Amino acid sequence: MSRVQKYTYFPGCMIPFRLPHFELTIRKVLERLDVDMIADEGHTCCPEPTTFTGVDFEAWLTVGARNVAVSESTGRDTLALCSGCFHTLAIARHMIHSEQDIRERVNSRLKKIGMEATGNVTVKNILHVLHEDIGLERIKKQVVHSLKGISLATHYGCHLVRPIEATHMDDAENPRWMENLIQAVGAEAVDYEDKMACCGAPIAPSDEAKSFRLTAEKLRKIRAAGADAIVMICPTCYTQMEMQQKKTAEYLDSEFSIPVLYLGEMLALAMGMVDLVTSNSRRYHRVKIQSLLEKMGVGK
Amino acid sequence: MTIGGISSDLEFRNWILQQPEGQTLLRCYQCGRCTSACPVAEIDSSFNPRLFLEKIILADEALAEERLIWTCLTCEQCEVRCPEHVKIPQILILAKVRGLATGNTPQTALDRARSILRQGRTIQVSDPMIKTREKMELPDLGSPPVEQLTKMLTDLKLAKRLESTESRYGGGESE
Ligand code: SF4
Ligand code: SF4
């Protein structure tokens, strides 16, 4: 009876090719919720917002605007799973939409390839889709395995949330949508100090030591709050805080072993799609999640 | 021209003011809240966003040559606390852009930019990556229309500038 809702999927580079289990789990979760993601071959790299901006901001804005124009041509809202991609598309859209001189300048370049961007398209991240479009009630109905007794710390990541005038998130300093999703699957959302602190990844190319000191600080505060695991959305934050978690030991005199789940994995587990998560966990989780799964009552 | 011991170049400041969000610089009254909110300033006292803005206000182009500007996370902790909503990380981004001419750009940033212009992606997509997607039954994403990027960006001459730029910044090897 329910109609399938369709979004244009903006894939970017990191998720589809480096961390495809993000895409896999969220696709299956969205399918359960009657939502479909459709990719468009016209999209390119967003481009990434942490270094390309500082090489040539105009080129960044122009390539971003081209991606916005491709999105506009699909006639659907765009869903960017990656926070970096979301940030770029949201800012490019916002600038084109709100500033006439930028719109004209950028469109004079797009014209050479027969395209135009107006900014009349909605760019969403996964929280907009889950929390605002689908809603907590519809999600709760699909929960077959409550994650009761599990405490989870959120890591939103900076670029998903700020600047608020472009991201249209709930709050720049204390967003709550991810906490609400955690509670919707029966788990407890734990608060910790400096929740919106950066993971450190953006400056890994320029100063690795500083970058990982910030990561270590962040992990220390999460551990102090006693979380069983961290839930996150951004593939860059994930690469920094999960794939390279061991590396932080060099910058703080203790080693961490905090499991990390992508938001799609958390939802898949609560919706009973355990195999989907475990079949890929060896490859994409350097911090073992086995004991977490056992605590959830889904370990084998 | 020298003001208070710094070399001053009004052209630099005027350029910043003409760039997207550059005008917000004029609202800064040097209160220093940005610095107290900044996580990088907390671990390195030589990183001082208030002082960076002061330098631009005084038109000190030397800021574009400072390695430190590339250790801004673009996290916007400063911006959300700034009473005047100055677009601080964006202004630092503009200073980074000016530094390209003399190579004050991390190697990885140059590599990523070259990769985006060459293949429309920041990473090299390998056969195993494509196989993994097939195994997961994820859709084929095709290849990005690179010719369109090249055509659209000609007036910016970025490809040419990248060809002649060598990073004197160094930094970590490209991923
Ligand atoms: S907080 Fe804002 S007004 Fe105060 S020094 Fe920083 S940029 Fe200037
Ligand atoms: S955006 Fe840059 S200057 Fe501002 S708080 Fe973050 S690291 Fe500091």
Phi, psi of A72 (to 5 degrees): -55, -40
Residue-wise pLDDT for B22-37, tens only, equals 999 999 999 999 999 9
Q: Collect all residues with Cβ–Cβ distance below 8 Å to B153 and sequence separation of at least 6.
A: A59, A62, A63, A109, B117, B159
- Cα of A258 vs centre of ligand 1, distance in Å, is 36
Give residue B5's pLDDT. 55
Considering the entire predicted model, what is its pTM? 0.96
Instruction: Select the residue of B122, B139, B151 nearest A39 (Cβ to Cβ).
Output: B139
Burial of B70 (0-12, 13-18, 19+ CB in 10 A): buried
What is the DSSP track for B77-91? HHHHH-TT---HHHH
| Cα distance between residue A21 and residue B32, in whole Å | 43
Give residue A10's pLDDT. 98
- Cα of B38 vs centre of ligand 2, distance in Å, is 5
- Does the distance separating the beta carbons of B43 and A214 come in below 8 Å? yes
Q: Collect all residues with Cβ–Cβ distance below 8 Å to A234 and sequence separation of at least 6.
A: A82, A83, A84, A157, A159, A160, A199
Residue with tokens 């606390």: B81
- The answer, for A209 touching chain B at a CB cutoff of 8 Å, is no
Residues 68-107 of A with CB under 8 A from B: 95, 99, 102
Give residue B173's pLDDT. 53
- Does the distance separating the beta carbons of B71 and A54 come in below 8 Å? no
- The answer, for A272 touching chain B at a CB cutoff of 8 Å, is no
- Cα of B74 vs centre of ligand 2, distance in Å, is 5
Cβ contacts (< 8 Å) between B155 and chain A: which residues? Answer: 109
Give residue A266's pLDDT. 98
Is the per-residue pLDDT at B47 higher than 60?
Answer: yes
Size of interface A-B (CB pairs under 8 A): 187
Burial B30-40 (b: 16+ CB within 10 A, else e): eeebbbebbbb
Mean pLDDT of chain B: 93
Residue with tokens 């001082």: B48
Cβ contacts (< 8 Å) between A50 and chain B: which residues? Answer: 74
| Cα distance between residue B111 and residue A89, in whole Å | 22
- Cα of B41 vs centre of ligand 1, distance in Å, is 14
User: Minimal Cα–Cα distance from B36 to chain A, Å?
Assistant: 14
| Cα distance between residue A148 and residue A215, in whole Å | 28
Best B34, B40, B86 residue to mutate vs chain A (most A CBs within 10 Å):
B40
Residue-wise pLDDT for A266-278, tens only, equals 999 999 999 999 9
Question: pLDDT by residue for chain A (300 residues), tens digit each?
Answer: 458 999 999 999 999 999 999 999 999 999 999 999 999 999 999 999 999 999 999 999 999 999 999 999 999 999 999 999 999 999 999 999 999 999 999 999 999 999 999 999 999 999 999 999 999 999 999 999 999 999 999 999 999 999 999 999 999 999 999 999 999 999 999 999 999 999 999 999 999 999 999 999 999 999 999 999 999 999 999 999 999 999 998 888 778 999 999 999 999 999 999 999 999 999 999 999 999 999 999 986
Reported ipTM exceeds the 0.85 cut: yes
Residue nearest (by alpha carbon) to ligand 1 atom 4 = B31
Which of B16, B24, B31 to probe ligand 1 with, by most ligand atoms within 8 A of CB? B31
